[in-house]
Amino acid sequence: MNRNRNIQFNIRLTEKELEAFERKRKASGLSKTDFFVKLIHSCNIKVYRFDDEVKAIVHELRKIGVNLNQVAYLVNIMQDGLAVREVKHMHSSFCEAMNRLSAFLDKPLTEDRCPSEM
């Protein structure tokens, strides 16, 4: 494509980021400019605000992790019946937390899609 590209754009990358960029660019066979332009046009960027809703979900998942340690303790002291009941409760809590997380991820603040993806 013949374009008048008269604007220079500079970015800073870590060594690892630059290595990843160069590896992918070389594999594509494109120039740096063409690869970057293709990247801009073919990506899907979602923006989220990690607010109290997400903090509550993370808190719930951490509590489930603590409960999992308690289940391991119950199994170790031969309290299998209690452990099974606790696992059932944890499963329910985990599914609820994951459903809330999924609903959050389904509603980004903004979503930038390429015109070809719309």
Model confidence at 113: pLDDT above 80: no
71 and 92, same domain (yes or no): yes
Dist. CA 29–CA 25, nearest whole Å: 6
Distance (Å, whole) CA 103 – CA 30: 38
**Residue 69 within a domain:** yes
**What is the C-alpha separation between 73 and 79, in angstroms, rounded?**
9
User: Tokens 């374009």 belong to which residue?
Assistant: 3
Contact predicate 83/12, CB 8 Å: no
- Tell the residue number behind the tokens 């409760």, with chain if given: 89
Residue 65 domain-assigned (yes or no):
yes
Position 58 in a domain: yes
pLDDT at 112: 62
Assess if residue 96 is contained within a domain: yes
pLDDT of residue 51: 85
Cα–Cα distance, 61 to 103 (Å, whole number): 16
In this prediction, residue 14 has a pLDDT band, given cuts at 50, 70 and 90, of very high
For residue 47, the cross-strand partners are 110
The residue segments making up the domain with residue 74 are: 52-110
- Residue 117 is predicted with a pLDDT of 47
Is 59 in the same domain as 32? no
Q: How far apart are CA 16 and CA 18, in angstroms?
A: 5
Judged by average pLDDT, the poorest of 26-35, 47-56, 68-77, 83-92 is: 47-56
